[in-house]
Amino acid sequence: MNKPHTLDFLIRDQVLQIAQNTPLPCYVVSKSVLQKSGQMMVDAAKKLPYGCEVSFAVKANPRPEIVKIFNQMNIGIDASSYFEVLLALSSGVEGKNISLTAQEFPENDQDLIDIVNQGIHINATSLHQLERFCTLFPGKNIGVRINPGIGSGYNKRLSTGGVAASFGIWYEYIQEALDIANSHNCKITCVHTHIGTGTDPQEWRNALLITLKLAENFPDIEKVNIGGGFKAKYMEDDKDADMDKIMEILAQELELFYQQNHKKLILRIEPGRLLSVHAGSIISKIIDIVDTGKNGYTFLRLNTGMTEIIRPAMYGAQHPLVVVPIKENNNETQDYIVVGHCCESSDCLTTAKGNPEEIEPRLLNKAQIGDLLVIEKTGAYCYGMSTVGYNSFPEASVIFVD
């Protein structure tokens, strides 16, 4: 990269104004950007021949305000825990628009009974969960998440399938799953996978084909859920998944499946990142500038870090960083390592791409202590994922702008 990033949806005056009126760091969320992403997804989903349910993977940003915006657009909720189900219900989402695909079921049967009675659809992610559900709800419909034996991910820490992933029922145990369901007169009506691919429509075709192949084993199948994992543009050389193209290709495969199997399957997708990532920015302050001598680095120390955004430390994720000078804007640039305020050497925002073990200087506008720094593309997996409480820093506020 040979020139610094510029601001995303905020403008400089707005950043300065927010910084004056709100304790920093703070998350800023754009309602119009959320609506635009939601509309893009809803429009793309219209291409599916037998219906497509779009649900927001609420783990990406578990704010009730965001859930409410998507709910108004008829976007459902994909919950990964019982508590995310409660969040969705208390934000006004109807049970029938929520599905729960979780590593952990609620411990008390009564909690599970309460949410199922409200219409929440469950995808069992293990034979144990399936057995528990079918025992509690004989005769009811359920979905199963299957680990198809392959997965993909930005790196190993993000891999969603294969022998090293615990998510879902291993594909060789499909007969056991059917036996459990049959013995309680339950029907498995939905097959769920999350192969989590990327931007290439052909990869999505493959992900759906794998899921359809699994679905052929289930005589009562009505729906396939291919999870989320639609990639988003963070840095210059990334791009957003083209949902129109992907949906066109998936529509073709579902039509073909109908011709061959006489089953009109509904598609469910669970995008998290692509629905919310572009709508978030973190405004922080540069609290110090230190260096490690002429063969070393110059570090910008922020009053944020893994307390608000842990992805760079965890995965070597890349986020655009924009210095917003308090005084005159200047065109001078400099290479910096940008670090957070935690007593933790991994609290670094300029780790190398995909490699949190390495730090990598980033070209930014020249900064002074007291200037602001905006971290872009923080609408997904930042607010909900960070190490709130570490070093006892207070929780950052979240403000919504139009």
Ligand X SMILES: Cc1ncc(COP(=O)(O)O)c(C=O)c1O
Residues that bind ligand X (CB under 6 A): 57, 60, 78, 101, 160, 194, 227-230, 270-274, 380
Residue 151 or 325 having the CB closest to ligand X = 151
Nearest to 266 by CA among 215, 202, 210, 228: 215
Q: Is the CB of residue 336 less than 8 Å from the CB of residue 299?
A: yes
Min dist CB 11 to ligand X, Å, is 28
Nearest to 168 by CA among 160, 176, 159, 178: 160
Min dist CB 52 to ligand X, Å, is 15
Min dist CB 203 to ligand X, Å, is 13
Residue 160 or 351 having the CB closest to ligand X = 160
Min dist CB 83 to ligand X, Å, is 16
Residue 336 or 381 having the CB closest to ligand X = 381
Residue 143 or 272 having the CB closest to ligand X = 272
- Work out the number of other CB atoms within 10 angstroms of the CB of residue 260: 10
Q: Which residues, 6 or more positions from 64, have their beta carbon under 8 angstroms from its beta carbon?
A: 87, 90, 91
Q: What amino acid occupies position 400?
A: F
Token representation of residue 268 = 């469910």
Min dist CB 57 to ligand X, Å, is 3
CA-based Rg of the chain, rounded to a whole angstrom? Answer: 23
- What is the torsion angle, in degrees rounded to the nearest 10, for the CA atoms of residue 314, residue 320, residue 321 and residue 323? 180
Residue 77 or 300 having the CB closest to ligand X = 77
Min dist CB 55 to ligand X, Å, is 9
Cα distances (Å, whole numbers) of residue 210 to 150, 193, 253, 346, 362: 10, 9, 11, 38, 40
Residue 159 or 391 having the CB closest to ligand X = 159
